[in-house]
Amino acid sequence: MRPGLLAQSLVLGILTGGMYALMAAGLTLIFGVMRVINIAHAAMIVMGAYLSLTLFLHLGVDPLLSMLLLIPLFFGLGALVQWGIVNRLAERDITLTVLMTFGFAIILEGLQGAIWTSSYQGIKTAYSLESFQLFTLYVPVVRLIAAAVSLFLLAGLYALLTFTMLGRAIRATIQNRTSAQLVGVNVRLVTTISFAIGIAVAGATGPLLGMLFTFYPATHWLWIGKLLAIVVLGGLGSLRGAFVAAMLLGIAEQVTSVTIALDWAPMIFYVFLFGVLVVRPQGLFGVVERQSL
Amino acid sequence: MRIDQRLRRRWPWAALALFAVVPLAMPEGFYLDLLMFTFMYAAMAVGWDIMGGYAGYVSLGHVGFFGLGSYAAALLLVHLGLPVFMTAPLVGLMASLLGAGLGFISLRTRGPAFVIVTLTFTYVAQLLMLDLKSVTGGSQGIFLPLLDLPANLVIVPFYYAMLALLVIAILVSIAIRRSKFGLGLIAIREDEGKAEASGVNTSLYKILAFAISVWFAGTAGALHAQYLNYVDPDLAFELIITLNLIIMSLFGSRGIVWGPVLGAFVIYPLSAYLIFLLPSRLAGQLHLVALGVVLVLVVMFLPDGVLRTYMAWRKKGPKDYGSVEAQASMAEAPG
């Protein structure tokens, strides 16, 4: 493999990895506070992509601007669904809650197909095909934008979790729900807010996905597979882990597609997923799950 | 009460006898096809329930085994000339071996690994069949030679094969339910820590249960490939199959032998009828929405399923179908 090609796939991998990190952040946050894998997460991201596409085609709203609308919209919907439906169930039975998110994923896929048909879509803005040379490297502008926006939002999420009272409450709930409640955290409210933040982040990723990749209603199954690989590799519930794993897998994917074949690139996610479960089930940054919950 | 019990023991045999003569009365047509698919789904749902109902570990990947079963049977037929009706049980065994391997990866610990591994396994299987073009023909798929039968009778052997698969599934489920193994699985569902502490080899039990559970999916997949005379990555790995199994088991009642059977006999015909009713342009999409809504509604309002809810309402079912509390106390007995 030529060194130039390797450097090129590193650049593309890091840029794509930034977006993967944002996608996975919401999923791992929701798992952290609720111990529930939101199987509908990728379907929600794709929903964001469709809404952004519609806004772009009919009202000419730039996909990046549509994020400003999607974030509060998805936050509100997430809070409503969590408070109204998911919360009631999650306190009774986690397995059933996972099945419920599976149902949500199916419903969203069906609705998207009914509204926007099953054909391939993509958000093609004026700057979609632009790129520039950096030394010998080729840098697509949309990927750079997506990575920058993702890093910006991730930094915001990190600041929220680290420096605010709410963030402390969320982290306490992730670490130990019962103890958090004992020291006066309203864990139910914190769970709802965290879930809503996770969904809002998913909604924000939608336009980025739509600009970088083609999508159709069933694509969310491919994405949830990738995202699960990322959050498991990083350690379920760990934001830092999700970030590192997203970068690692973003790069690994690009390297595979140039060294082996484009067809086999998605497989690299599952190789890592299954490998890490055999070798280190708690992932890179995860903590060993306590046996009694 | 006594008549009730006697009925309970005899009606399955009566139903079996009835189903056995149906093809003689009407050897072709819509209803035979409907019944055959109902048997197929019922058998797979009973299999799913051995893991999802008894042990309480929900698999989202049964269609992966179904699809690989389709491919294995197709390849054995095309390359070695082995008829599918002969290889189907062996293909099921391959699925079981694979299931044991996946179980080894995901079932040694508790927590969400099993859900993640079973869900992603479906994509791995599909991706492999798509990418191993020299073996599987990629997205072109594989055509299977037709059975040497008149076109209007071709469904009959499949009808009996699926009926036989369902009978095997029910017998296996009953045998497990009455064994120490089954009791161990229920103990795992109720409290895995206590089950382990009381001497149940939980990892082994779970892996074994999953291997048995996926045998039915693999075998059904093999038969299904020959029924369609064709297999491709999209047809073989439709997630809607897994979704159907879950809805059927939950709706009928998880962890009860007849629950998934009842679920399949209610859900499959309704689901087929719904596709028929919906406008053809949107049928596939709205069907998905409907199934998703049914799953969410069942999870929210009928999590115990029809049978268990009915038993609880009657409050005098036989011991075997006792409440969760009774089963839990039974589960703690061996040790």
Q: Is B194 on the interface with A (CB under 8 A)?
A: no
Residue from B54, B104, B108, B120 whose CB has the most chain A CBs within 10 Å, to mutate: B120
Q: How far apart are CA A54 and CA A49, in angstroms?
A: 9
Residue in A39, A96, A278 closest to B299 by CB: A96
Contact B299, A99 (CB under 8 A): yes
Residue of A nearest to B283 (CA): A114
Average pLDDT, chain B: 87
Is residue B325 scored above 60 in pLDDT? no
**Residue in the block written with tokens 């439709």:** B238
Q: Is B135 on the interface with A (CB under 8 A)?
A: no
Amino acid at B81: G
Question: Using the beta-carbon criterion (under 8 Å), do B292 and A232 form an inter-chain contact?
Answer: no
Amino acid B161: pLDDT: 95
Question: Using the beta-carbon criterion (under 8 Å), do B289 and A104 form an inter-chain contact?
Answer: no
Lowest mean pLDDT among A150-159, A260-269, B115-124, B173-182: A260-269
Q: Is B287 on the interface with A (CB under 8 A)?
A: yes
Lowest mean pLDDT among A159-173, A227-241, B25-39, B181-195: B25-39
Is residue B262 scored above 90 in pLDDT? yes
ipTM attached to this prediction = 0.90
pTM score: 0.90
Amino acid B326: pLDDT: 45
Q: How far apart are CA A254 and CA A161, in angstroms?
A: 31
Confidence tier at B1 by pLDDT (50, 70, 90): very low
Contact B294, B310 (CB under 8 A): no
Query: What's the token pair of residue B258?
Result: 């007849």
Residue from A274, A279, A282, A289 whose CB has the most chain B CBs within 10 Å, to mutate: A274
Amino acid A61: pLDDT: 87
Amino acid at A285: F
Amino acid B231: pLDDT: 93
| B300 contacts in chain A (CB < 8 Å) | 85, 88-89, 100
Residue in A266, A277, A291 closest to B106 by CB: A277
| A220 contacts in chain B (CB < 8 Å) | none
| B131 contacts in chain A (CB < 8 Å) | 261, 263-264, 267
Confidence tier at B330 by pLDDT (50, 70, 90): very low
Q: Is A225 on the interface with B (CB under 8 A)?
A: yes
Amino acid B6: pLDDT: 55
Ranges of residues in chain A whose predicted pLDDT is under 70: 1, 287-293
Residue in B105, B116, B130 closest to A228 by CB: B116
| B60 contacts in chain A (CB < 8 Å) | 39, 102
Is residue B180 scored above 70 in pLDDT? yes
| B106 contacts in chain A (CB < 8 Å) | 277
pLDDT tens-digit profile of A113-151? 999 988 898 888 877 777 777 777 778 888 888 899 999
Spatial CA neighbour of B140 closest among B204, B71, B186: B71
Tell me how far the alpha carbon of residue B165 is from its chain's centroid.
10
Question: Using the beta-carbon criterion (under 8 Å), do A103 and B287 form an inter-chain contact?
Answer: no
Is residue B327 scored above 80 in pLDDT? no
Q: Is A167 on the interface with B (CB under 8 A)?
A: no
Residue in B131, B285, B288 closest to A264 by CB: B131
Residue of B nearest to A228 (CA): B116
DSSP count for chain B of H helices, then E strands: 16, 2
Q: Is B110 on the interface with A (CB under 8 A)?
A: yes
Q: Indicate left, alpha or beta for B29 from its phi (over 0: left) and psi (-120 to 50: alpha).
A: left
Tell me whether residue B319 is exposed, middle or buried, using C-beta atoms within 10 angstroms of its C-beta: 0 to 12, 13 to 18, 19 or more: exposed
pLDDT tens-digit profile of A190-221? 999 999 999 999 999 999 999 999 999 999 99
Question: Using the beta-carbon criterion (under 8 Å), do A89 and B295 form an inter-chain contact?
Answer: no
Q: Which of residues 62-121 of A touch B (CB under 8 A)?
A: 85, 88-89, 92-93, 95-96, 98-100, 102-111, 113-114, 118
